[in-house]
């Protein structure tokens, strides 16, 4: 590797580290302000000006996508760990539901930032025309596709297995999102009660379907 390549590598590494620091600053503001988090507040938290923040992320949409990826990656890792645990299938279903609900309960402001636009979100960043609601759907789609892939790998759903797995994956994510959103806002029951009722709803065909030959159990 010549001198210019090493310099480029150091520059890229420094830029990635700076981006990580800015995302952590954004996380702190989101934890405090939720959907009301603004680029001005995030720039102030990071000790920089808003134009510098734009230089790293383009606009609030770019920052939102980076934060969404960061938190979705962590959530999906927890869901996979729950699905891969050496337990009975019903226990793993409940553990997976609980992993999702635990995540939104632990960081409700992050959840609200990712999934719900603030009433003044567009006004706070009107120069960029940001709308959180317009960007939240890809987060749910990604989770649905990830879960669909996991189901397709593990379960033998017959001749329409690929389609069924995608329907199940997106359906389960939609159920978790809708039920979790309602529960987080109203807290009508304890989390374990919600988990049990959601697992009951899913358990019909899931209890009866066989594992795919040679695949790890689901």
User: For the chain, which domains are there?
Assistant: 60-211 (1.10.357.10)
State mean pLDDT over 63-84: 91
| This prediction's pTM | 0.82
Say what the pLDDT of residue 3 is: 66
CB 58 within 8 A of CB 37: no
pLDDT at 123 over 70: no
124, β-bridge pairs: none
Above pLDDT 90, what percent of the chain?
54
Residue 50, CA distances (Å) to 17, 36, 123 in order:
18, 16, 16
Identity of the highest mean pLDDT range in 77-86, 113-122, 149-158, 185-194:
185-194
Residues in the chain: 218
CB 81 within 8 A of CB 102: no
State mean pLDDT over 34-58: 91
């Amino acid at each position: 590797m010549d001198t210019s390549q090493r310099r480029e590598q150091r520059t890229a590494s420094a830029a990635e580290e700076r981006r990580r620091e800015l995302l952590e600053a954004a996380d702190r503001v989101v934890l405090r302000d939720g959907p009301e988090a603004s680029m001005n507040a995030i720039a102030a938290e990071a000790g920089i000006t808003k134009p510098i923040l734009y230089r790293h992320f383009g606009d609030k949409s770019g920052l939102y996508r980076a934060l969404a990826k960061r938190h979705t990656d962590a959530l999906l890792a927890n869901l996979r760990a729950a699905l891969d645990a050496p337990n009975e299938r019903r226990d793993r279903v409940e553990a997976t539901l609980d992993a999702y609900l635990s995540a939104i309960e632990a960081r409700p402001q992050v959840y609200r930032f990712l999934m719900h636009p603030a009433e003044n979100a567009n006004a706070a960043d009107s120069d960029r025309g940001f709308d959180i609601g317009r960007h939240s759907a890809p987060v749910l789609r990604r989770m649905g596709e990830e879960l669909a892939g996991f189901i397709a790998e593990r379960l033998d759903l017959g001749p329409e297995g690929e389609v069924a797995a995608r329907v199940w994956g997106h359906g389960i994510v939609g159920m978790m999102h809708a039920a979790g959103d309602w529960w987080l806002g109203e807290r009508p029951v304890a989390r374990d009660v919600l988990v049990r009722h959601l697992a009951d709803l899913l358990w019909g065909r899931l209890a009866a379907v066989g594992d795919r030959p040679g695949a790890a159990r689901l």
